Amino acid sequence: MDRILIRGGRRLNGKLPISGAKNAALTLMPCGLLTDEPLTLRNLPRLADVDGFGHLLNQLGASTTIEGSRPEDFGRVMTIRAGQLTSTEAPYDIVRKMRASILVLGPILARAGQARVSLPGGCAIGNRPIDLHLKALEAIGADLEMSAGYVTATAPGGRLSGGRYRFPVVSVGATENVVMAAVTASGSSRIENAAREPEIVDLCRCLVAMGARIDGIGTETLEIEGVAELHGATYAVMPDRIEAGSYACAAAVTGGEVELTNVDVASMGATLTALREAGVGIEERRDSIVVTSDGQLRPLTLTTAPYPGFATDMQAQFMAMLCKAAGASVLTETIFENRYMHVPELARMGADIQVRGRTAVVKGVDRLVGAPVMATDLRASMSLIIAGLVAEGETSVARVYHLDRGYERLEEKLSAVGADIERDGGG
């Protein structure tokens, strides 16, 4: 089982390239199912979840070919060809390993008029229901039947009708599923209280490039006029705002000066505001951000919220950074019910964190001490890396397969800006 070893205490200096966004890639890839023409995605990150999704597309009968990228390049070019689907089912053994597989439900239903997808089940951060995905699909004409841990969706007459749905709470995945299903419906659809994350904007822009008709992109109300069919396109995946924010937290806490390159600056508003509030120097350039820090940080009060609020996917990384702030910070997690799995591991490195319900009080300490720790979920594992970079001595992070799901070539990127970090096959 791979683990990552870090010897902390080094300042970070230099340029760090940001990859394509995992959470955009995982909703752009299923768009290839919506047309019998090729969809080419550029700047695709080299991640386990992207590879896993590619295997799922292959199971459904789509080919996925990686073209024109050298091993040393960050980002890949993938062309998805779904001339015809050979299956309309996403099986349990795939969906349980990668929850984002649920995002094939809408596209398969739209393309084939029927779909059978395993319920994803929960994960480390929460039970992650899909009731909103199902209610939204019903609202645009799907007939649904649940049995034996699967949902079977059918479009009467083979084509969804379109319709109107107002989300009771914001859901990124459910918004993505219903948008992908609605673009080839026979009528129009109006989606209210839709998620506005930049990854949703990326999805809508890609669908429009494929011939979809969507108004209100980037707002909470999406108006979709169904079209008979979509055509192929070439589309570049947006830069990963969470990866960029994660490395910014690392540079902030170690001290130093790091330029994050290939960044979508506009998508990082709440993260950059919080970093500046903590006393970190942030210089915004056209497609890069320069993070400058002396390692002295002010405490913060942060509450996670749907975009454009402070991202839940940044909570663990900020917590690790704030373990070294001069004072007490208060973090409140409003999106997921169990997203503090990193707390006991950080405590083993000397952090002083008290969790009460959804709120964590992080009292800054003078020093963190390296220790063997264990990753539990993707962003929690990044918080342990950040803590290890500033801790005295050696930190070994086990179960790094969690990290490989969302951070492309992490140790290579961090080594290049001066971190003493390596991957160790043992452990």
- From candidates 133, 241, 402, 413, binder to ligand EPZ by CB under 6 A: 133
Contacts 24+ apart (CB under 8 A), 380-383: 380/124, 380/316, 380/339, 380/341, 380/342, 380/345, 381/342, 382/246, 382/316, 382/317, 382/320, 382/406, 382/407, 383/316, 383/317, 383/319, 383/320, 383/342, 383/346
Check 31, 123, 206, 249 and give the catalytic one.
123
- From candidates 57, 80, 104, 132, binder to ligand EPZ by CB under 6 A: 132
Q: Which segment (86-94, 150-158, 169-177, 395-403) binds ligand EPZ by CB under 6 A?
A: 169-177
Minimum Å gap between C-beta 168 and ligand EPZ is 9
146 binds ligand EPZ (CB under 6 A): no
Do the annotations mark residue 413 as ligand-binding? no
* CA–CA distance, 121 with 205 (Å, rounded to integer): 30
Instruction: Quote the distance between the C-alpha of residue 401 and its chain's center.
Output: 16
Minimum Å gap between C-beta 336 and ligand EPZ is 5
Q: Which segment (6-14, 76-84, 128-136, 361-369) binds ligand EPZ by CB under 6 A?
A: 128-136
- From candidates 171, 246, 288, 315, binder to ligand EPZ by CB under 6 A: 171
Best CA proximity match to 91, nearest among 102, 106, 107, 81: 102
172 binds ligand EPZ (CB under 6 A): yes
Nearer to ligand EPZ, 169 or 266 (CB): 169
- From candidates 54, 173, 226, 256, binder to ligand EPZ by CB under 6 A: 173
47 binds ligand EPZ (CB under 6 A): no
* CA–CA distance, 108 with 90 (Å, rounded to integer): 10
50 binds ligand EPZ (CB under 6 A): no
Q: Which residues contact 78 (CB under 8 A, 6 or more apart)?
A: 29, 40, 41, 44, 54, 64, 65, 66, 67
Do the annotations mark residue 191 as ligand-binding? no
Do the annotations mark residue 6 as ligand-binding? no
DSSP result, 46-87: --HHHHHHHHHHHHTT-EEEEES--TTSSSEEEEEE-SS-S-
Do the annotations mark residue 335 as ligand-binding? yes
Q: Which segment (8-16, 167-175, 288-296, 410-418) binds ligand EPZ by CB under 6 A?
A: 167-175
Best CA proximity match to 151, nearest among 61, 91, 93: 91
Q: Is 114 in contact with 154 (CB distance < 8 Å)? A: yes
| Residue list 2-31, contact with ligand EPZ (CB under 6 A) | 22-23, 26
What are the structure tokens assigned to 308, written together? 């454009």
Minimum Å gap between C-beta 215 and ligand EPZ is 22
| Residue list 312-341, contact with ligand EPZ (CB under 6 A) | 312-313, 335-336
Q: Is 123 a catalytic residue?
A: yes
308 binds ligand EPZ (CB under 6 A): no
Minimum Å gap between C-beta 94 and ligand EPZ is 15
Q: Which segment (11-19, 67-75, 124-132, 210-218) binds ligand EPZ by CB under 6 A?
A: 124-132
100 binds ligand EPZ (CB under 6 A): yes
Q: Which residues contact 147 (CB under 8 A, 6 or more apart)?
A: none
3-class secondary-structure state, position 194: coil
Q: Is 379 in contact with 315 (CB distance < 8 Å)? A: yes
| Residue list 360-399, contact with ligand EPZ (CB under 6 A) | 378-379
How many other C-beta atoms lie within 10 A of the C-beta of residue 79? Answer: 17
- From candidates 169, 412, 415, 422, binder to ligand EPZ by CB under 6 A: 169
Q: Which residues contact 131 (CB under 8 A, 6 or more apart)?
A: none
Within 62-219, residue ranges assigned H as helices are 92-95, 105-112, 131-139, 172-182, 198-209
Minimum Å gap between C-beta 344 and ligand EPZ is 19
* CA–CA distance, 95 with 78 (Å, rounded to integer): 22
Q: Give the catalytic positions in this structure.
A: 123
Which residues participate in the annotated binding site for UDP-N-acetyl-alpha-D-glucosamine? Answer: 99, 128-132, 313, 335
Binding positions for ligand EPZ, rule: CB under 6 A: 22-23, 26, 100, 126, 128-133, 169, 171-174, 312-313, 335-336, 378-379, 406
Instruction: Indicate the annotated binding residues.
Output: 22-23, 99, 128-132, 313, 335
